[in-house]
Structure 1
Amino acid sequence: MDAPSKPDGEESSVALPSEHRFQLLVNAIKDYAIYLLDAQGRVSSWNTGAERLKGYTAEEIVGEHFSRFYTPEDIETGLPARALRLAREQGKFEAEGWRVRKDGTRFWTSVHIEPVLGEGGELIGYAKITRDLSQARYSEQALYASEQRFRLLVEGVRDYAIYLLDPAGRVTNWNAGAQLIKGYTAHEILGQHFSRFYTQEDQRNGVPARALQTALAEKRYEAEAWRVRKDGSRFWANVVIDAIFDEAGQHVGFAKITRDFTERKKVQEEIDRAREALAHAQKLEAVGRLTGGVAHDFNNFLTIIRSSVELLRRSGADEERRERYIRAIAETADRAALLTKQLLAFARQQPLRPEAFGIAQRVRAMEQVVETMLGSAVKVEFDVGAPLDAALADPTQFDTALLNIVINAKDAMPTGGRLKITVRSVEEVPAVRRHAPVKGAFVAISIEDSGSGIEPLTLSRIFEPFFTTKPATKGTGLGLSQVYGFAKQSGGEIDVRSRVGEGTCFTLYLPRAAGFGDPAVQSSTPDAPRQTLKLTVLLVEDNDDVGQFASGLLSAVGHAVARASSAKDALKILEEDCQKFDLVFSDVVMPGMDGVDLAKEIRSRWPDLPVVLTSGYSHVLALEGNHDFALLQKPYSIQELEAFLDRAVPNSNRRSSPHGHVG
């Protein structure tokens, strides 16, 4: 610290070592301006920190009055003199304020002034310490300004209700958006529990408390639900609640943001209604197209059958013509039955009989049929892969699906080309028709042709029933619908890739059979020979026409038949003498007790008596897996009926001699 100047001619005393060390200490301090004033306020010493903060050297400032560091405003109000007076009267003076550097710039300071007294208690000067707080002041002002701007921002937001809750859920502040959306002013709602915005149902169910618990446990809660305004009206709200913690990690409350989504919800509901209406319209259009297609085809079938019957009735028809008419009736009936099966397959109500079968062997067995169907102009290549790959599906329906795809390939190659059938095992069905990929064990059967390809617009509709690009006499438009329905009903998928002018590839994905042995061995095992004895059958059919026809059919192949027109009548007949019957052959759809319930009752009371059910009703056929009784689908041929009844009655249950006709 600089010592006060001595009068001329007076020698300075030698400084004590302790005073020297103190002076070195004070001069080493650079963050504080530490200096002395005489009793009149003139600077008498000046340290390094004072020079750095104020910009003056000791030579420039010693002897000058300290008021020069004050702003003109403070000098005008007499602040420098007042500071010294307060320091003298109260023992110290402390304050913060603006000061002026040598270059005229201002800085915010913390000032401490204490009086310096002599040994006799007289005032000999003042000790003054000044610290530059400009940066802290600027930071504080910036923070304050930021908080003010944020407060103004929050207060100015009108589309969002933004407010705070204390840890108990009481409202502690309220912005303009909250007032606009909920209807309460800040004066009305501060201190109130936020649960008053919830519906009575949600309050009873404890939704507000769970929302805070979730926000506290997971640091965030978000939901959409109905909320209540001050006037009692409801609005659809998007709600976000965040838990707030202080610097020490202590929970201090919640920040809550609510947005009114009522209009958005109305728009979404309108969109949903429009979608439903469109889907309904599309469904009606599909039903109309389906109905028209079915009516067209069945009218054709009925025309053939009716004409053939009329011609048969005419006298004079020779045997050859009669045979031709009968053949026409039979073939047309088969085509009508196939059409029904294709419709059921598309609707996924075709009764499938899934079993494990070797895909490679099945495809190889169809090789000659495929080559014959395509003709010599199309080169056929088979790549069937591992021989043990097996699918779990209905093998007959698989054959039909494969041939339907081959027929389409043939139509795409009228002048010849190439067709390749590939079989491989895959562990995933790829994304198909906007569906995500599906993991699993599948067998993929790809049929790829080098034909004309399919236009993108057509490609999107090829699985629709009765949609076809062929001439009216060349197809029903149900072939690919059958493939689609079969794949879906089997738990698989059908994919198609096509490029116009380059060809098309259909890939049928079927579930892979687990634990399947060598299919070649399984398929080569012949059925055990069966004794072809005639049966005594109890026929249960409520429709007289169908009952007479079925009774005549059974009698024509040598079976003895008794007829019951209802399940109730059938049970009475069996109660009288069930021992004379080898089998019960019953329709499913009947008034009162249906065929399935009848079969269950018979099994319960006469467990050794076999029951065969029959139906042509699609809903019954689709529910075939809900019971374990044999089900013969209508319409059926004589051969199908005989084979079905033969399988239904084990050899051990048959009588040694045929029964006579039961009246």
Structure 2
Amino acid sequence: MGDIDTADLWDLSPVPTLVLSPACRIERVSNGFLDLWKRQREEFVGKDVFNALYAGSLFERFDRIPLTRSIEVAIDTRKVQLCYSACSVDGTSWSARVIPIFKNDKLLALVLGWELVENSLGDAAVDLAHNMLSADETFRLLIQAVKDYAIFLLDTRGYVATWNAGAELLKGYERTDIIGKHFSTFYGEEDLRAGKPERELEICLRDGRAQDEGWRYRKDGSRFWANVVITTVYRNGVHVGFGKVTRDLTERRNAELQLVQAYEESAKLKNDFLANMSHEIRTPLHGMLSACTLLLDTALTPNQRDMADLIAESGQVLLQVINSILDYSKIVSGSVSMSSVPVDIAGIMSSVIRNVQVRLRPEVHLQLDLSPELPKAIKGDPLRFRQIVQNIVDNAVKFTEEGWVSVQTSVVAEDETTCTIQTNVTDTGIGVQVTDATVQNLYKPFIQLEQSINKRFQGTGLGLSIAKSLVELMDGQLGYRPNPTRHGSVFWFTAKFTKIPEKNVEHETSLQLRLKASDEDASSILQRLREIAPRKRILAAEDNLINQKVLVRMLHSFRFSQIDIVGNGAEAVSMLNDSSGMYDLILMDISMPVMDGFEATAKLRASGVKLPIIAMTAYALAGDMEKVLRNGMDDYIVKPMDRNVLLQKLLKWLDTTG
């Protein structure tokens, strides 16, 4: 080569050429390239090729996409790649041939040789469309005639190359307006800032296809909800552009939004109905059950006591039905939250057994088997665990007319932080005829397996459905199998609990002992309350006259003699503003005329009244109890009021001896 350095050959070449390092920095620039770009060599050498070529261009983010992809493919395949319409100089479109140079599996350099494509961007787009579609004139005419879809081609950098009748109708641009314009014209400012258009092209180059739904804009500025599909277009193995199909889905989206709105309104109406149903049914039921409780405390003949017991039992069944429906509603709406407090498994199991013992038939024996390995210091949701056990044991007792019901609880798995407890409830009842259909129906709401059974065993069919949902919330499973020894069923469930760290065991254990101590039997609580009741004065706000009478008589049975009753929150506020120091506790109904319990409590707290306020509420949906505490009340009792619960609440807030 004489005195000429081989490397100088690149610089002297009249062919527009760039030599890049493996890191895509420009190392050599040919004279032909400088003539093309009308710039100095120093402006290119050492610069990143993408910044050098595209910085400052109108669509810089899109212009660099085709070349970036071609370089990646050339390196991966070690083959020459043609990047069609890689860049434009003074309106002239140029393609780049990317040549990877390897030696012993090591990339030494990349050579970019530039080739002229067309004289102008618009002409290039027209030619792209012509070359791609002229092979099948019928197909071209078909695409042009489609009016329900916008179908058009983009070049490698996203410039519009074709435009059919559907695109003109949908977007409002005539063919002469849009050919040669960039497709990002159709996107809103938010999408442009987020880089959505270029991201779609990058995904399309990588995966061969990109799909999206979102707002797109017409020429007049109006918008429509579009479904967009972009695909890569190749000719003879060379990427030459993108195909784009757009559908107007505005009507479908509006219909979906209307459905969502209708669903939300329906859900609100359902929740409002359940809340009102709960209140309207619980309020008279409270009066009936409370009056029945007081009646049973009086001297009755055996026949009268039997009738009163029947009334009380029927009322409790009705209350259980209401509670089941409300529990199911909470679960379906996803509004059940799980607590994490100390759990006494043995105590809960024993309590459930005592509770169902009174409903047991004389011919049925009930036994409880607790593993000595049951942990003493764990956390979970004791109320939900009890509800699961209660539902399953209630079912076993209800469907067993003779024989036995056995309840077994033990630890089946544990690690350093958790333990899983399994409970098996085995009975000799009517059993389940095992088929795929019956096993699936076991846990469906409002379903009992046979109509003939329904006539003998009444119920909502919600017990197992609620239990299964709660078990799953406790990271457990609920299952069924036939009794292996004789006719009957075995229902089992697992629940996961969190272990209390050893350093906290002593504290938590003492807490459990205090909780057990406070859970005394009703007679002991009644005795303690009767000792302090004569010295205490209570203000009760209750608008229902029947409930007023029942409440006063119940309080009298506890030996309270100083009781003032008002019919709404405004009267309660007035009474307390005049003589708040005279009272020791307030029982506040929530739903009252003139002024409800929430507003009355807010006014009392604002005026400095610090007396304990216990809400009496017939609302029992998710969030109602939290709302009571959030609005300044100290505690709550759900109507119908359980006498023992009222005893405990009154003693809790009135017994200052600790």
TM-score interval for Structure 1 and Structure 2 normalised by the shorter chain: 0.5 to 0.7
Partner-residue secondary structure (3-state), 1:651: coil
Deviations 1:133-161 (A, max 9, x none): xxxxxxxxxxxxxx967874895884783
Deviations 1:19-58 (A, max 9, x none): xxxxxxxxxxxxxxxxxxxxxxxxxxxxxxxxxxxxxxxx
TM-score, normalised with respect to structure 1 = 0.54
- Within 5 Å, give how 1:490-639 maps onto structure 2: 491-492=473-474, 495-498=477-480, 505-507=491-493, 509=495, 512=498, 514-515=500-501, 517=505, 522-525=511-514, 527=517, 532-534=531-533, 535-559=536-560, 560-619=562-621, 620-621=624-625, 623-624=627-628, 626=630, 629-639=634-644
Q: What's the counterpart of residue 344 of structure 1?
A: 326
* Cα offset, 1:616, TM superposition: 1.4
User: Which residue among 151, 164, 169 is the counterpart of 1:161?
Assistant: 151
The 1:149–1:417 alpha-carbon spacing in structure 2 relative to 1, beyond 3 Å, is farther
- Within 5 Å, give how 1:249-260 maps onto structure 2: 255-260=242-247
The 1:353–1:242 alpha-carbon spacing in structure 2 relative to 1, beyond 3 Å, is closer
* Cα offset, 1:328, TM superposition: 3.2
Q: What's the counterpart of residue 199 of structure 2?
A: 214
Partner-residue secondary structure (3-state), 2:586: strand
Instruction: Give the conservation status (yes or no) of the 8 Å contact 1:162–1:257.
Output: yes
* Cα offset, 1:239, TM superposition: 2.4
Count residues with an aligned counterpart: 464
For the residues of structure 2 that align with 1:388 and 1:151, how far apart are their CA atoms? 82
Q: What's the counterpart of residue 356 of structure 1?
A: 342
The 1:176–1:336 alpha-carbon spacing in structure 2 relative to 1, beyond 3 Å, is closer
Matched, 1:403 2:385: no
* Cα offset, 1:581, TM superposition: 0.9
* Cα offset, 1:561, TM superposition: 0.8
* Cα offset, 1:377, TM superposition: 8.0
User: Which residue among 437, 455, 459 is the counterpart of 1:457?
Assistant: 437
Q: What's the counterpart of residue 474 of structure 1?
A: 457
Instruction: Give the conservation status (yes or no) of the 8 Å contact 2:442–2:464.
Output: no
Partner-residue secondary structure (3-state), 2:564: strand
Partner-residue secondary structure (3-state), 1:552: helix
* Cα offset, 1:188, TM superposition: 5.7
User: Which amino acid in structure 1 is aligned with residue 244 of structure 2?
Assistant: I
User: Which amino acid in structure 2 is aligned with residue 472 of structure 1?
Assistant: K
The 1:497–1:162 alpha-carbon spacing in structure 2 relative to 1, beyond 3 Å, is farther
User: Which residue among 467, 486, 505 is the counterpart of 1:484?
Assistant: 467
Q: What's the counterpart of residue 172 of structure 1?
A: 161
Deviations 1:376-400 (A, max 9, x none): 78997655754246342244x6445
The 1:156–1:497 alpha-carbon spacing in structure 2 relative to 1, beyond 3 Å, is farther
Partner-residue secondary structure (3-state), 2:395: helix
* Cα offset, 1:571, TM superposition: 1.8
TM-score, normalised with respect to structure 2 = 0.54
CA RMSD in angstroms comes to 5.7
Partner-residue secondary structure (3-state), 1:257: strand
User: Which amino acid in structure 1 is aligned with residue 437 of structure 2?
Assistant: L
For the residues of structure 2 that align with 1:302 and 1:548, how far apart are their CA atoms? 11
Q: What's the counterpart of residue 324 of structure 1?
A: 306
Q: What's the counterpart of residue 316 of structure 2?
A: 334
Partner-residue secondary structure (3-state), 2:437: helix
Partner-residue secondary structure (3-state), 1:191: coil
The 1:385–1:217 alpha-carbon spacing in structure 2 relative to 1, beyond 3 Å, is farther
Deviations 1:504-523 (A, max 9, x none): 54425366475573777654
Deviations 1:349-406 (A, max 9, x none): 89999742122553366668889959778997655754246342244x6445313213
Deviations 1:108-135 (A, max 9, x none): xxxxxxxxxxxxxxxxxxxxxxxxxxxx
User: Which amino acid in structure 2 is aligned with residue 356 of structure 1?
Assistant: P
- Within 5 Å, give how 1:57-72 maps onto structure 2: none
Instruction: Give the conservation status (yes or no) of the 8 Å contact 1:156–1:176.
Output: no
* Cα offset, 1:614, TM superposition: 0.6
User: Which amino acid in structure 1 is aligned with residue 495 of structure 2?
Assistant: Y
* Cα offset, 1:240, TM superposition: 4.5
* Cα offset, 1:446, TM superposition: 3.8
Partner-residue secondary structure (3-state), 2:154: strand
Deviates more, 1:440-449 or 1:374-383: 374-383
For the residues of structure 2 that align with 1:357 and 1:419, how far apart are their CA atoms? 22
Instruction: Give the conservation status (yes or no) of the 8 Å contact 1:241–1:254.
Output: no
Structure 2 regions of 5+ residues with no counterpart? Answer: 1-129, 144-148, 519-524
- Within 5 Å, give how 1:115-194 maps onto structure 2: 152=135, 158=143, 161-165=151-155, 167=157, 169-173=158-162, 189-194=178-183
User: Which amino acid in structure 2 is aligned with residue 636 of structure 1?
Assistant: M
Partner-residue secondary structure (3-state), 2:540: strand
User: Which amino acid in structure 1 is aligned with residue 395 of structure 2?
Assistant: N
Instruction: Give the conservation status (yes or no) of the 8 Å contact 1:596–1:613.
Output: no
Partner-residue secondary structure (3-state), 1:340: helix
Instruction: Give the conservation status (yes or no) of the 8 Å contact 2:580–2:609.
Output: no
Structure 1 regions of 5+ residues with no counterpart? Answer: 1-146, 246-251, 310-316, 429-439, 654-663
Matched, 1:643 2:648: yes
For the residues of structure 2 that align with 1:539 and 1:616, how far apart are their CA atoms? 15
Partner-residue secondary structure (3-state), 2:245: strand
Deviations 1:600-654 (A, max 9, x none): 443444454221111112344474564562101212244443332111124259x
Partner-residue secondary structure (3-state), 2:505: coil
Instruction: Give the conservation status (yes or no) of the 8 Å contact 1:351–1:621.
Output: no
Instruction: Give the conservation status (yes or no) of the 8 Å contact 2:377–2:505.
Output: no
The 1:585–1:460 alpha-carbon spacing in structure 2 relative to 1, beyond 3 Å, is same
**Among the aligned pairs, what percent are the same residue?**
18
Partner-residue secondary structure (3-state), 2:532: coil
User: Which amino acid in structure 2 is aligned with residue 507 of structure 1?
Assistant: F
User: Which amino acid in structure 2 is aligned with residue 538 of structure 1?
Assistant: L
Instruction: Give the conservation status (yes or no) of the 8 Å contact 2:541–2:567.
Output: yes
